[in-house]
Amino acid sequence: MAGMQQVAKMALQQSLSPQMQQSLHVLQAPLAELRQLVDTELRANPALEELVPERSTEAKQEQASPMEEQWNEYYTQRSSGETWSREALEKRQHFLDSQVRPPTLPEHLLEQLQTASWPREDAIIAVEIIGNLDDGGYLRSTVEEIAAAVDCLPDEVERVLEKVQEFDPPGIAARNLAECLLLQLKSQGRQYSTETRIVRHYLDELGRKKLNEIAKALDLDPKEIQHAAELIARLDPMPGRAYAADTNQVVTPEVLVEYDGEDYTVGLNSDEIPRLRISDSYKDMLAGSSKEVREYLRDKIRGGNFFIKSIQQRQQTILNIGREIALRQREFMERGPSHLKPMTMSQVADAVGVHETTVSRAAAGKFISTPQGIFEMKYFFTHGYTNSDGEGVSNESVRQAIAQIVREENNRNPYSDQDIVKLLSDRGLGVARRTVAKYREQLGILPSHLRKAF
């Protein structure tokens, strides 16, 4: 048997220095994270200091939010030294309360849980159930998974789930569409109605509009089935979406694309970028210091200069990518998302003169302001198709075309996925039916049998 032995060999291995890792981190960081990186570096490196531009009192007033302006005006009226009356305090509280954002779905459900007298064990299970609901209000974990998470029996989870399903909005915490609709019918006192029988036993047939078959199976008049189908159509298949987080969140774009009357100009939102420099006092300390102190000072100054250079390089890279986006997506700038062109990171990387991974890092989490609105930079990187004229059409353009087709359809006779395939083909877009189905789901568009109006 061969014994163990040590063998010495040489090998080349690449590794990133701490400075290079820092540079990549700066490149990839969105504005909010970059601000945190700057704050951390300012605390760690005394040689760095931030230049804070002076703002006039008038400029500060212009930047005050409407909420601040209203409160300042109200406070000024009440700051003459007099005692606050009860009425004034109530007005102040009402004003502050009116600024609170609407509750999310979990918050809305937890508030109902808190107002009820539940045993501690049941409350723990209920919190776990609420935490496993999706944006539509459906329970996406199994009873067994929840039981394992809180260390209890599945029967206990079933019992608590039934109580949670009595919360507002009706239909919440259902495990499928049928259960969601049944819960809503129950909340309306119609648990023994024809609608309930249809949902419980003939939901698939209802989706395929086989009303005559349902009428025959239930031994009822087709008109009664038609009326029940209309009532079912008024139920909400996504009861949680009313509490979904606002997708129109305020974001700060880093790249600004504007039309100056002749062409599109591309610039950076420099006001949001921290401005740094090496402290003059630190430079002055170099003279007359001991060797050890000078080495320390030089190390901090070198580190500070590299950090400043990393931010400058980040800005230039983002600007170059923004210019290339504006150049390649001119039709989008002029006419909107339906005219987005296929564009890959590799193409932009070649044009800008950097590696494809650099483009990916630079675009991550960054936003660009265009004449068509604010978009994430990665939105513009999309593959696509070639239409009948030989022109490139992006995936997003196809999605927009599908959305337009559905918007303009007759809701009493909506288009099937195969119908949409044919309509896209008429527009010169050869797209497979499964691709249409995928894009339709991404757009949140229901299948044709669920879109049909009764």
Predicted local confidence at residue 23, as pLDDT: 82
pLDDT of 67 > 50? The answer is: no
User: What kind of architecture, by CATH, is found in domain 386-451?
Assistant: Orthogonal Bundle (1.10)
Among 1-15, 96-110, 170-184, name the one with the lowest average pLDDT. 1-15
DSSP of 183-216, one letter per residue?
Answer: HHHHHTT-TTSHHHHHHHH-HHHHHTT-HHHHHH
Other CB atoms within 10 A of residue 74 CB? 14
Q: What percent of the chain has pLDDT over 90?
A: 17
Residue 378: name the closest of 269, 255, 265 by CA: 255
Residue 94: which residues within 8 A CB-CB, separation 6 or more?
Answer: none
Residues 362-370, mean pLDDT to the nearest whole number: 89
Reading the block at residue 60, the tokens are: 């500060």
282-303 exposure pattern, b = at least 16 Cβ within 10 A, e = fewer:
beeeeeeeeeeeeeebeebbeb
Give the H or E element holding residue 417.
helix 417-426
Count how many Cα atoms sit within 13 Å of the Cα of residue 143 in the half-sphere of its side chain: 12
Instruction: Read off the DSSP letter of residue 370.
Output: E
Residues 420 and 400: their CA atoms lie apart, in Å, by 12
The winner for highest mean pLDDT among 66-75, 220-229, 420-429 is: 220-229
Predicted local confidence at residue 402, as pLDDT: 85
394 φ/ψ angles, rounded to the nearest 5 degrees: -75, 160
The pLDDT tens digits for 210-269 are: 888 999 999 988 889 888 888 888 888 889 888 775 544 567 899 999 988 888 999 998
pTM equals 0.50
Angle formed by the axes of helices 433-442 and 395-407, to 10°?
80
Predicted local confidence at residue 195, as pLDDT: 92
The pLDDT tens digits for 316-361 are: 999 999 999 999 888 888 888 777 888 888 889 999 998 888 888 8
Residues 373 and 263: their CA atoms lie apart, in Å, by 17
Residues 74 and 72: their CA atoms lie apart, in Å, by 5
Alpha helices in 274-337 (DSSP H): 280-284, 291-328, 330-335
* Domain boundaries for CATH 1.10.10.1330 within the chain: 106-243
Return the ∠ at Cα 166 (arms to 160 and 167), rounded to 5°: 100
End-to-end CA distance of the chain: 82
Q: Is the pLDDT higher at 392 or at 429?
A: 429
Predicted local confidence at residue 8, as pLDDT: 60
Predicted local confidence at residue 17, as pLDDT: 66
Q: CB of 369 within 8 A of CB of 333?
A: no
Return the ∠ at Cα 276 (arms to 270 and 279), rounded to 5°: 155
Residues 44-73, mean pLDDT to the nearest whole number: 59
The pLDDT tens digits for 154-184 are: 999 999 999 999 999 999 999 988 899 999 9
Q: Which residues pair with 369 in a beta bridge?
A: 256, 374
* Domain boundaries for CATH 1.10.10.60 within the chain: 386-451
**What CATH number should be reported for the domain whose range is 106-243?**
1.10.10.1330
CA distances, 340 to each of 106, 218, 326, 343 (Å): 37, 52, 11, 9
